[in-house]
Amino acid sequence: MTTIDTIRDDFAFLDEWEERYRYIIELGEALPPFPDEARDAAHKVQGCVSQVWLVTDKGPGPDPVVRFQGDSDAHIVRGLVAIMLALFSGRRASEIVKTDAEALMRSLGLDEHLSPQRANGLRSMVKRMKGDAEAALVQHA
């Protein structure tokens, strides 16, 4: 899977937003297959116009490593899912909670180039991921 640092570097290299959109779509196409049984209401991210599903796997311990799997039925949104997975998945719950996803969106220019619906959906996905990380911390408190 592509790292968040690679995504930042690639975005800096691509000048045109048309190229960046294509890159976002490619990131989504590279996501591993999503389990069909997880395409249900329990895994659906509320607040997204497109269908977005998220599976959270919490490791053991008081500050577990949290891994996410995600998917969407829309190409660009699937790419945004890939960016958020690169940002959050495989990190400790405490790191996820502290991570400023809004700053990442600004640094990539996503805040200016996404439709309001997509930006709100992205925030809903971030809220869900951070909420799952917080829940992982609380379980051991």
Compute CA distances 123 → 46, 106, 110, 117, 119, whole Å: 10, 13, 12, 10, 6
pLDDT attached to residue 120: 87
Which of 112, 47, 53 lies closest to 81, judged by CA?
53
What CATH number does the domain containing 49 carry?
A: 3.90.1010.10
One of 24, 31, 48, 114 is an active-site residue; which one?
48
Residue 10 has pLDDT above 60, yes or no: yes
Picking from 48, 98, 95, the residue whose alpha carbon sits closest to that of residue 70 is 48
Cα distances (Å, whole numbers) of residue 48 to 15, 59, 106, 130, 138? 28, 27, 20, 16, 26
How many domains does one find in the chain? 1
pLDDT, tens digit, for every residue of 98-112?
Answer: 999 999 999 999 888
| Mean pLDDT for all residues in the chain | 93
* Domain, as residue range, for 113: 4-138
Q: What is the pLDDT of residue 141?
A: 57
* Residue 42: CB atoms within 10 Å: 7
49-72 confidence digits (pLDDT tens): 889 999 999 999 999 999 999 999
Q: At 66, is the secondary structure helix, strand, or coil?
A: strand
What's the pLDDT at 53?
Answer: 97
Whether 48 is a known active-site residue: answer yes
Averaged pLDDT for residues 3-20? 94
